[in-house]
Amino acid sequence: MAVHIDNTIRRVSKPARYTGGEWNQVVKDHNEVDVSFAFAFPDLYEVGMSNLGLKIVYHLLNRRKDVVCERVFAPWIDMEALMRKHRIPLFSLETRKAIGEFDVVGFTLQYELTYTNIVNMLDLAGIPVMARDRTERDPLIVGGGPGALNPEPVADMFDCLLVGDAEDALDEMVDVYLDWKRHGGRRQPGARESLLEAMATIEGCYVPSLYRPEYNPDGTVRDVRPSRSGVPPGVRRRIAAPLDLADYPLAPPVPFMEVVHDRAVVELFRGCTRGCRFCQAGMIYRPVRERPLEDVVRASRELVRNTGYDEVSLMSLSSTDYSGMSGAVRRLVGELGPLKVNLSLPSLRVDAFSVGIAEQIHSVRKSGLTFAPEAGTQRLRDVINKRVTDDDILEASRAAFEAGWDAIKFYFMVGLPTETEADLVGVVSLIGRVAALYGRMRRSDGRAARGRPKLTVSASSFVPKAHTPFQWEGQATTDELEAKQAFLRDRLRPRGVRLDWHDAEMSAVEAAIARGDRRLTAVLIAAWKRGTRFDSWTEMFEWATWNEAFRDCGVDPSFYANRRRPDTEVFPWEHIDARVSKGFLLRERDKALAGITTPDCRSGVCEACGACG
């Protein structure tokens, strides 16, 4: 097979996606380990190699002497065509071993529009797509990542899923599999069932085949309950606390080609308590767990030494919320600056403090800054609990212009609950005030008044997600979303502002899957059979094909995406305990509709969300 692979790789557009051999990759003899694990990322190499979760799992498994973990990514269209033509099964990067020959294949569920790639990768590997069709000779197919908090649309494809942090549960899952395999599990007909029953006893491990969804006559979910005795009634998210630097990948593989985020990454903390009501990550990664300052400095130092990167990104959901940020920046600029290594912050609060931190980092080269007001009026920002005022936004912009930046990107959302035309007008007005501020500052410091700031507005579409206060709310229709985008486009472009937006039809499919149940599996497979691949890539997405798949499966996407759900409705993910209580989410939803904000519990009163136990 190696000769065929070599010849095939030479004929595709970007061979480095499939060659492996990178610095810091781990290669082990499969005959000298007990368990082989293929980490499958359902998107391109350059996307997957930017994912911190992949690097963490790769490190956690390969530090065990009895386990080997290798990587596999979704092949691009040209590579897939050649693989199918020459009957080359999906293979790993490290040893080019066929994925179907591994003991375990683990997929990360990062984004709903990658789910057809999961179907495609299983098919390319020669592994039955549906879990019920697999035997002891097939790998155990596991899943994880944020999508595991509502895995129902793909549940029937997976043998089990890990809900929560890999650092806290992965070793337990490997040990259960190892014990089963050592007792001849892969050689005994019918033994797969005993493995799944054992996996279900691990907290945070969800075995879909042991749970049965029941539906009401109107199509809503009546219940999701265990199908046999001894199975836990629900699955509780695992939490790694504290975050141990020994679990962190300080020597990850270094790609030969440019990837999306081509730099070293240091996770400052996990979780967020700012409480934005649309944000799933802010709910499902609670509570906040910070890394000690010394660990942040040591991780940065070792990553530079082990990878050769010339940039270190200090990453978290809101990086400047890190309590030791000022000290971390001061020390890292002092240590890494002389080595010509840059620091970057991918997420900034909308305040002057964040700009000041950014100025320390970018004291020589001013790249663009990004702020996320999310909504154009104070009323709507109160609804979504984005505790940012117009004055905050203008002050942060003033500080940025004063420090030498002239390029700022602003993130907004359209279609948020309770949004009106006045809120869209507010976006235009706010950006106009930022542009006017830039002009006044240019004139006041004696420079010519000509020239405009480089302002970009990104307008994404609101998608209701599981385990958030807005999980009950419906998404605006595609016509409504496109009308909102057109409203902003027609009013911002004459001002010289660049507008980016997300395809409304892609957001509609994302919303249907995000709040979907097991009936969506048939739709995913039907769409895949019609040729859908890489649906998160605009040039690959086919709205008509998805509509055909929904229609042929007798599924109405608006039932999942656009319908506002009553408070008493049972969700498809009701049996998945994200540690944030449904009561708290309901209270937050009610406060949203009343325009009442909730303070950050790290600096205020505990709101009893449940995450801290």
Phi-psi bin for 496: left (phi > 0), alpha (psi -120 to 50), beta?
A: left
Q: What is the mean pLDDT of residues 280-296?
A: 96
Tokens coding 517: 């149940």
Q: What is the mean pLDDT of residues 430-459?
A: 82
Q: What is the mean pLDDT of residues 165-192?
A: 91
Position 345 confidence tier, pLDDT thresholds 50, 70, 90: confident
Kindly give the residue spans of alpha helices, DSSP state H, lying in 142-226.
166-182, 192-199
Say what the pLDDT of residue 363 is.
54
Percent of the chain with pLDDT strictly greater than 90: 83
3-state secondary structure of 91: strand
Position 350 confidence tier, pLDDT thresholds 50, 70, 90: confident
pLDDT(365) > 70: no
Tokens coding 365: 């080269």
Per-residue b/e over 2-29, b at no fewer than 16 CB within 10 Å? Answer: eeebeebbeebeeebbbbbebeebbebe
Separation of alpha carbons 587 and 2, rounded Å: 58
Amino acid at 253: P
- Most confident option among 494-503, 576-585, 597-606: 576-585
pLDDT(490) > 60: yes
Which H or E run includes 413? Answer: strand 407-414
* Choice among 13-17, 209-213, 290-294, 449-453 with the minimum mean pLDDT: 449-453
Q: What is the mean pLDDT of residues 110-121?
A: 97
Say what the pLDDT of residue 446 is.
57
Mean pLDDT of the chain: 93
Give the distance, in angstroms, between the CA of residue 290 and the centroid of all CA atoms in the same chain.
20
Say what the pLDDT of residue 364 is.
42
Per residue in 380-395, pLDDT tens?
A: 999 999 999 999 999 9
pLDDT(36) > 50: yes
Which value, to the nearest 10 degrees, does the dihedral of the CA atoms of residues 80, 81, 82, 84 take? 80
Tokens coding 23: 């610095």
Per residue in 228-277, pLDDT tens?
A: 988 999 999 999 999 999 999 999 999 999 999 999 999 999 999 999 99
| pTM, entire model | 0.95
Q: What is the mean pLDDT of residues 12-39?
A: 96
Say what the pLDDT of residue 514 is.
98
Say what the pLDDT of residue 378 is.
97
pLDDT(44) > 80: yes
Q: Which has more confidence, 607 or 181?
A: 181
Q: Outline where DSSP puts E strands in 297-338.
A: 311-315
Q: What is the largest CA-CA distance in the chain?
A: 83
Say what the pLDDT of residue 406 is.
86
* Choice among 261-265, 316-320, 343-347, 358-362 with the minimum mean pLDDT: 358-362
| Bridge partners, 236 (sequence order) | 577
Could you give all domains of the chain from N- to C-terminal order, each with its CATH number?
A: 2-236 (3.40.50.280), 263-514+581-593 (3.80.30.20)
Say what the pLDDT of residue 448 is.
45
Say what the pLDDT of residue 447 is.
53
